[in-house]
Amino acid sequence: MPEFDLIDPILPPQNQPGMPLPEEQVLLSSPRVVEDPPASEEIIDMLNGFLEMNNIADTLKDDLLTEIGQRVVSDYEIDKDSRKEWERTQERSLELARQIASRQRDTTANVNYPTIATAAIQFAARAYGNIIKGRDVVKAKVIGKVEAPPKFPYDVPQDIPPDAPMPMPPDAIVKANAENKSKDKRAMRLQTFMSYQMLEEVEDWEASLDELLVMLPVTGCCFKKTYYDMSSRQVKSPLITADNLVVHYNTKNIESAPRITHAFELTPNEIIERTRSGVFLDKEFGEPTTDENHDSNDEDAPHVFLEQHRWWDLDNDGYREPYVITVHQDTSQVVRITARYDADGIISNEKGEIVKIEPVQYFTRFIFMPAFDGNFYGMGYGALLGDLNATINTTINQLLDAGTLSNRQSGFLGKGINLGRGDESTFRPGEWKHVVNTGDDLRK
């Protein structure tokens, strides 16, 4: 019978060696003393049942769904209003980076110098090569209680003669060597597999990273949404721009954010796919709201949905649980609710009361540099170099306009001068016209 290396089972984070459980708290899967078994067990069963549901909204009443939908849209507008000034700065930064010609200039020159664009390209070129080096993308770090590696030569008793043979290493050192080697091998396996997963299995991971590195220095903030897609049975990690992910401006970090709203668009055909597969509730949305980016005559004009990662008390125990609530923006109709926690992330006390639920985070924030006012979205070249880039554009355009006006001279015509047909005449560069006057009259 062949021999195999046995690998220790991977336990939840709370059960890892060297990671003590929180004081006066126990996991739901751990034995506990429950003073009120019926009530506590009912709440626990309800939370566990939510984990098995594809859409919790199927089990909720219409009046509750209406309340949830209106609250989601209202809170989204509150968060969006808190960052109005930031949005204006972003719009101006993108215009400078994209070198969009100004529509307000009425002179000849309309040049945009690529200050921000050049800086962004240089940053992306340097960062990409340092993140992706060949096939090694993921690096594993061993964390945990490990015996100190043996030293060689190790300490030898002083009473042993110099010419005596060296004693064998103690058993403790041999055991420590074996533990260190086992953890190092596991770390190598993990980083090798995850590097393959990122480069080969996750769709467009490398392409979206390249796009992120170009956008990040301009806007100052971008996001990656990492999740397991049940329909395709694959891990996905698309790029989410800061325009489409709304968090309150004064939020300190993404882990403590009370709400995270991802605004996305779906065409009518994509809505039908999600409805017939049971992902969305069957609702009537009417015609979508059109804007400058979508024509009102377009039959495939998309609808806007709000996927809000927030807290809501569905079990009525006084403690709000983390959920993902998807709402149609125009009609405020809830189409889907899913649990945003794992079974091992629920912590209760000895009475069976829910003490804390660790939410699952889907979004990873990337910021170019922290903002001076400590806002959530950070700062980029658009905010740092925007005024400087605008000044350079104005100076270049003024110099070009002055040269153009100098080459296209103008002057006065006396009433007594006859230039031919009509009283006025225009000239193209290098053009000479015949007149009936003498040279001395023209000179004067």
**28/431: higher pLDDT:** 431
Contacts 24+ apart (CB under 8 A), 198-207: 198/137, 198/138, 198/237, 199/135, 199/137, 201/234, 201/235, 202/234, 202/235, 202/236, 202/237, 203/234, 203/236, 204/238, 205/237, 206/132
For 406, the token pair is 């100098």
pLDDT at 118 over 80: yes
* pLDDT reported for residue 9: 45
Q: Rounded distance, CA 66 to CA 334, Å? A: 7
Question: Is this prediction's pTM over 0.95?
Answer: no
**pLDDT confidence bin for 270, thresholds 50/70/90:** very high
Q: 99-108, 165-174, 248-257, 361-370: which has the minimum mean pLDDT?
A: 165-174
**233/25: higher pLDDT:** 233
Q: 45-49, 156-160, 280-284: which has the minimum mean pLDDT?
A: 156-160
**235/297: higher pLDDT:** 235
Q: What is the mean pLDDT of residues 333-345?
A: 92
* pLDDT reported for residue 401: 83
pLDDT at 286 over 70: yes
Q: Rounded distance, CA 94 to CA 80, Å? A: 19
Average model confidence (pLDDT) for the chain? Answer: 80
Q: How many residues does the chain have?
A: 444
Which residues, 6+ apart, have CB-to-CB distance to 284 below 8 Å?
none
* pLDDT reported for residue 184: 80
* pLDDT reported for residue 13: 43
What are the boundaries of each domain within the chain?
46-82+248-366
* pLDDT reported for residue 32: 44
* pLDDT reported for residue 358: 92
* pLDDT reported for residue 239: 93
Residue with tokens 């195999």, as numbered in its chain? 4
* pLDDT reported for residue 17: 41
**Would residue 374 be called left, alpha or beta, if left means φ above 0 and alpha means ψ between -120 and 50 degrees?**
left
Q: 176-180, 187-191, 214-218: which has the minimum mean pLDDT?
A: 176-180
User: Buried (b) or exposed (e) across 145-162, using 16+ Cβ within 10 A?
Assistant: eeeeeeeeeeeeeeeeee
Q: 155-164, 287-296, 376-385: which has the minimum mean pLDDT?
A: 155-164
**pLDDT confidence bin for 146, thresholds 50/70/90:** low
Q: 17-31, 139-153, 245-259, 302-316: which has the minimum mean pLDDT?
A: 17-31
Q: What is the mean pLDDT of residues 168-182?
A: 62
In this predicted model, what pLDDT tens digit does every residue of 1-20 receive, in sequence order?
A: 444 444 444 444 444 444 44
Q: Give the CA distances from residue 257 to residues 8, 71, 429, in Å, rounded to whole numbers and listed in that order.
A: 36, 16, 64
**pLDDT confidence bin for 185, thresholds 50/70/90:** confident
- On whether the CB atoms of residues 431 and 408 are closer than 8 A, the answer is no
pLDDT at 293 over 90: no
For 183, the token pair is 């953890």
pLDDT at 424 over 80: no
Q: What is the mean pLDDT of residues 401-419?
A: 65
In this predicted model, what pLDDT tens digit does every residue of 53-109 receive, in sequence order?
A: 889 999 999 999 999 999 999 999 999 999 999 999 999 898 888 887 766 655 677
**pLDDT confidence bin for 243, thresholds 50/70/90:** very high
Q: 163-167, 269-273, 342-346: which has the minimum mean pLDDT?
A: 163-167
- Give residue 433's identity as a one-letter amino acid code: K
* pLDDT reported for residue 44: 79
- On whether the CB atoms of residues 212 and 222 are closer than 8 A, the answer is yes
**pLDDT confidence bin for 277, thresholds 50/70/90:** confident
